[in-house]
Amino acid sequence: MAHPSGNNIDTDLLIVGAGPTGLFAAYYAGFRGMRIAVVDSLPELGGQITAMYPEKQILDVAGFPTVKGRELVEGLVEQAAKAEPVYLLERTAASLTEDEDGVTVGLDDGTSVRAKVVLITAGIGKFSPRPLPAGEGWVGRGLEFFVPSFQPYVGKDVVIVGGGDSAFDWALHLEPVASSVTLVHRRDAFRAHAGTVDAVKASPKVEIVTKAEVSAINGNGTVESVDITVDGEVTTRPAQAIVAALGFIADLGPIQQWGIEVQKRHVVVDSSMRTNLARVFAAGDVTEYPGKVRLIAVGFGEAATAVNNAAVVIDPSAHVFPGHSSEGS
């Protein structure tokens, strides 16, 4: 359930981040009998998946050979609903003070959350897309940074700029619906997964142009064509849609001032997912420890580990492992 701003909230566990890891943590904390509040700076649940990849096929969730991002989030929200979490959306966890009895987190809208434990599941934190140098003034007029829906690209000539996983994933997903897809990258080497690169290269409808850049966007009101520069030579080709998949700038924001040990925008945790603060845990992509692997599946396991260890902090008479969730309601 949502909660109005400007109030004081008392809970057992405050989860900072409403992405997949945070949503699963909410469900599991409910299984452990905790009261839960979840804060996120985005207006919707699901974190990066909802904001950036709702139509993307996700392949690394156990039990699902493939699942759309949107469908995964819908399932996680339904699962978490059993815990009756209080959702505090479009708000940022700004300050944290810790004492012997708990933690007080101040939100940027004036809300104060008193919790016994905080679990950070903030992914990469707040993120903003890296701009396309030639794209100034064209955002919303044919230029976009994310592809939340494929429908707007049906029958269009699409130019995708970038060489990472997002660029190649969107090339694969848009190829069946677009009239044509051109992927432009400034180098002839790619950061994307090799299997995805091979699949794009094998597609007859996707052209890859390397050692190139989109040097200009042309159109009257909306995008009509782009200039692509290769070795100083400029070619113009039709385009009614451009996707700038150049990555994004991530920032943990105020969390970095909470006194938590941070390495390169990641929160350092031990094997119990505890940070250097006794009542603050972390799970998911935000964490750092030797051998860390950043997968959604790993985040789910870390969430359960964090919640189980937090349970003992909340109630010292509790056990770290309560049994399997399939053994009771």
CA 159 to chain centre: 24
For 112-162, give the DSSP string.
EEEEEEEEE--TT-EEEEPPPGGGTT-BTTTEES--S-SGGGTT-EEEEE-
* Contact predicate 223/237, CB 8 Å: no
Rounded to the nearest 5 degrees, what angle is found at the Cα of 21, between the Cα atoms of 20 and 26? 95
DSSP classification of residue 163: S
Q: What is the longest distance spanned by two Cα atoms in the chain?
A: 72
Q: Rounded to whole angstroms, how far apart are CA atoms 326 and 32? A: 13
Site of tokens 């991530």 = 250
Site of tokens 């009614």 = 240
Q: Rounded to whole angstroms, how far apart are CA atoms 23 and 271? A: 21
* Contact predicate 106/94, CB 8 Å: yes
Q: Per the annotation, does 192 bind a ligand?
A: no
Amino acid at 314: I
Strands ordered across the beta sheet of 233-238: 212-218, 225-230, 233-238
Q: Per the annotation, does 48 bind a ligand?
A: yes
* Contact predicate 241/235, CB 8 Å: no
Q: Rounded to whole angstroms, how far apart are CA atoms 274 and 282? A: 6
Q: Per the annotation, does 53 bind a ligand?
A: yes
For 178-205, give the DSSP string.
SSEEEEE-SSSS--S-HHHHHHHHT-TT
Task: Taking the CA atoms of 33, 34, 39 and 40 in sequence, report the sign of the dihedral they define.
Answer: negative
Q: Per the annotation, does 169 bind a ligand?
A: no
Q: Per the annotation, does 127 bind a ligand?
A: yes
Q: Per the annotation, does 199 bind a ligand?
A: no
Which parts are annotated binding residues? 21, 40, 48, 53, 93, 127, 285, 326
Residue list, annotated binding site for FAD? 21, 40, 48, 53, 93, 127, 285, 326
